Amino acid sequence: MTTPLHVLVLAAGKGTRMKNGRPKVLHPLAGRSLLDHVLAVAAELEPSRVVLVLAPGMEEVAASARASGLPLSVAVQDPPLGTGHAVQVATAGLPAEGEVLVLYGDTPLIGAATLRGLLQARRRADAAVAVLGMSPPDRTGYGRFLQEGGRLAAIVEERHADPELKRTGLCNAGVMAMDAARLPELLAGIPHRPDKNEYYLTDIVELARQRDWACVAMEGPWQDGIGVNSQVQLAEAYRLFQERLRQVALEAGVIMTAPETVHLSADTEIEPGAILEPYVVIGPKVRIGARAHVQAFSHLADCSIDHGAEIGPFARVRPGSRIGSGAKIGNFVETKNALVEPGAKVNHLSYVGDASVGARANLGAGTITCNYDGFSKHRTEIGAGAFIGSNSALVAPVRIGTGALVGAGSVITMDVPDDALAVTRPQQIVRAGHAATLRARLAARKAGKP
């Protein structure tokens, strides 16, 4: 039988150092909140249940977490008295079987592979506690692991560590895997720290060793343990996460000539052979097909780009857009809730919203689908092979038929049948020599002559 896994996510911190009033764990990172990153990793482990520990008044965080679809419950830590107390609150009512994994809502880079390794390390040693360690470039502020005979003996606060332990000891990443059967006894023994008025979860290591229960440490990638407590740290976490996403994409065969300038989202899907030019920004829910070409300074969000399509440069593909294979969305073109079928072209300076553009249709420069009347959105249908002349306005709801032509500068308010020509511009008037006469008259007026 599979060992039940109970995941505890500690997220009671208010995040006052973020200095903007938003709950810390709801700050965005590459298309997901910090908390959503942690919950997504928890979901990969297929836990029996997830308990989210919050402080009073964090209903917004609770509502966001419940949308994850996980078997999640919320425990309120009132008042918050440290990590040991948080786990005491979270485990109340949990069965004393299986494993308990403690995560933090502000460590968004933790990886499922690292957590699986930690759980396996605990099982191999039949340890009461397994703790994740790391060796970050800046070790300041982290507790250190004191190890004896290959086993974890204690987690020492930095202020109490001697110089040698500060220099060589693994830093505590905070993540723990514990035997659920032995955990209640350990939690009951955590001492109160009067100087901080808190109960430290790290004290369970020494408590376990006092009972001759094994404790082990496992070193993971230092990036996995990075926490976010300020805007500076959030920006650093974003940088590290982008490096990961780009590395994965490059190794999968995505072509990026300047990857450090490309910004991806956590859920971005890109097939091998796709090309992303410099300064492309990709928001959430984007899928890009093989050999699609996204040119420089384009922005994509909640859309799909099919095989061999070309986007940009300076294009904006907004939510609900689907760009078919071989289609072209050119420079300074914006689409929203639009289906652009294979081989269609929208090359220049156009807006296509709430519309469908048929296969091989061609929209000239400056074409606008007028989709909003101030109250409701309306749809424009453009048939296969249709040609829309430059600087045309298509006032929705309207249908342009298959193979139809719309003359440049037209304002189309009625349906155009298949293979029909529609032109609404006024008749051109030419007055021979009138330009010179008009210039002379205007020059005299400017000079004050009658």
Same-domain status, 37 and 163: yes
Amino acid letter, 340: V
Q: Which one, of 173, 30, 181, lies nearest residue 99 by Cα? A: 181
Q: If you average pLDDT over residues 281-296, what whole number do you get?
A: 98
- Residues 166-182: what's their mean pLDDT? 95
CATH of the domain at 260: 2.160.10.10
132-146 pLDDT, tens per residue? 999 999 999 899 999
Same domain, 26 and 172: yes
- Name the residue among 286, 323, 282 with its Cα closest to residue 303: 286
Question: 154 phi and psi, to 5 degrees?
Answer: -170, 160
Pairwise CA distance, residues 430 & 428, whole Å: 7
For residue 405, the model assigns a pLDDT of 98
Do 172 and 289 lie in one domain? The reply is no
Task: State which of 158, 192, 225 marks the end of a domain.
Answer: 225
Task: Give all strands of the β-sheet with 255-256 in edge-to-edge order.
Answer: 255-256, 275-276, 293-294, 310-311, 328-331, 345-348, 362-363, 387-388, 405-406, 421-422
- Arithmetic mean of pLDDT, 265-273: 98
Q: What pLDDT is recorded for position 286?
A: 98
- pLDDT range class, residue 2, cuts 50, 70, 90: confident
pLDDT above 80 (res 391):
yes
Percent of the chain's residues with pLDDT above 70: 100
Using the predicted structure, report yes or no on whether residue 86 has a pLDDT greater than 50.
Answer: yes
Strand stretches in 3-134, DSSP E: 5-10, 28-29, 32-33, 49-54, 72-76, 99-104, 129-134
Q: With cut-offs at 50, 70 and 90, classify the pLDDT of residue 449.
A: confident
What is the per-residue pLDDT across 338-360, written as a single tens digit (0 to 9) for each? 999 999 999 999 999 999 999 99
Measure the CA–CA gap between 245 and 250, rounded to whole angstroms. Answer: 9
Alpha helices in 227-315 (DSSP H): 231-251
Task: Tell whether the model's pLDDT for residue 426 goes beyond 90.
Answer: no
Same domain, residue pair 39 and 68: yes
* pLDDT for the residue numbered 47: 96
CB burial of 72-98 (b: ≥16 within 10 Å; e: otherwise) equals: bebbebeebbbbbbbbbbbbeebeeeb
Neighbouring C-alpha atoms within 13 Å toward the C-beta of 102:
27
Quick check: 371 and 343 in contact, CB under 8 A? no
427 located within any domain: no
Structural domain includes residue 287: yes
User: Cβ(64)–Cβ(33) under 8 Å?
Assistant: yes
316 Cα distance to chain centroid: 18
Dump pLDDT digits (tens) for 144-164: 999 998 899 999 999 999 999
According to DSSP, the β-strands at 215-219 and 275-276 are unpaired
Mean pLDDT for 292-318 is 98
- The letter for the amino acid at 238 is Y
> What is the model's pLDDT at position 1?
45
In the predicted structure, residue 245 carries a pLDDT above the cut 50 = yes
State the total domains in the chain.
2
What is the distance between the terminal CA atoms of the chain, rounded to a whole angstrom? 103
Coil/strand/helix, residue 256 = strand
* Residue 253 CB neighbours (<10 A): 12
- Locus of tokens 């599979």: 2
Give yes or no: residues 364 and 253 share one domain: yes
Q: What is the mean pLDDT of residues 2-10?
A: 93
Do 74 and 61 form a contact (C-beta atoms < 8 A)? no
Distance in angstroms (rounded) separating the CA atoms of residues 321 and 370: 16
DSSP 293-361: EE-TT-EE-SEEE-TT-EE-SS-EE-TTEEE-TT-EEEET-EEEEEEE-TT-EEEES-EEEEEEE-TT-
Q: With bands split at pLDDT 50, 70 and 90, how would you rate the model's confidence at 379?
A: very high
User: Residue 52: pLDDT above 80?
Assistant: yes
pLDDT reported for residue 308: 98
Q: Considering the chain, what is the average pLDDT of its residues?
A: 96
Please say which residue of 225, 240, 267 terminates a domain: 225
The reply to whether 442 falls in a domain is no
Is 77 a domain residue? yes
Q: How far apart are CA 133 and CA 215, in angstroms?
A: 13
d(CA 169, CA 157): 11
- Output the pLDDT for position 39: 98
- d(C-alpha 397, C-alpha 416), whole Å: 12
Mean pLDDT of 1-24: 90
Do 244 and 215 fall within a single domain? no
- pTM of this structure: 0.91
Report the CATH number at residue 188: 3.90.550.10
Average pLDDT of the residues in 327-337: 98
Q: Are residues 220 and 322 in the same domain?
A: no
Q: Domain boundary residue among 225, 244, 272?
A: 225
Would you state the pLDDT for residue 93? 85
Domain that includes residue 177, residue range: 5-225
Three-state DSSP class for residue 369:
strand
Residue 444 maps to a domain = no
**Residues catalogued as catalytic:** 348
Q: Identify whether 305 is part of a domain.
A: yes
Whether 9 is in a domain gets the answer yes
Dist. CA 394–CA 72, nearest whole Å: 49
Note whether 299 and 168 are same-domain residues.
no
CA distance 408 to 362: 12
Phi, psi of 341 (to 5 degrees): -80, 165
Taking the alpha carbons of 266, 267, 269, 274 in that order, is the dihedral positive or negative? negative
Tell me, yes or no, whether 440 lies in a domain.
no
Q: H or E stretch including 63?
A: helix 59-66
Mean pLDDT of 374-395: 97
Give how far the C-alpha of residue 420 lies from the chain's centroid of Cα atoms, to the nearest Å. Answer: 46
pLDDT given at position 326: 98
Q: Which helix (H) or strand (E) holds 40?
A: helix 34-44
What single letter denotes the amino acid at residue 244?
R
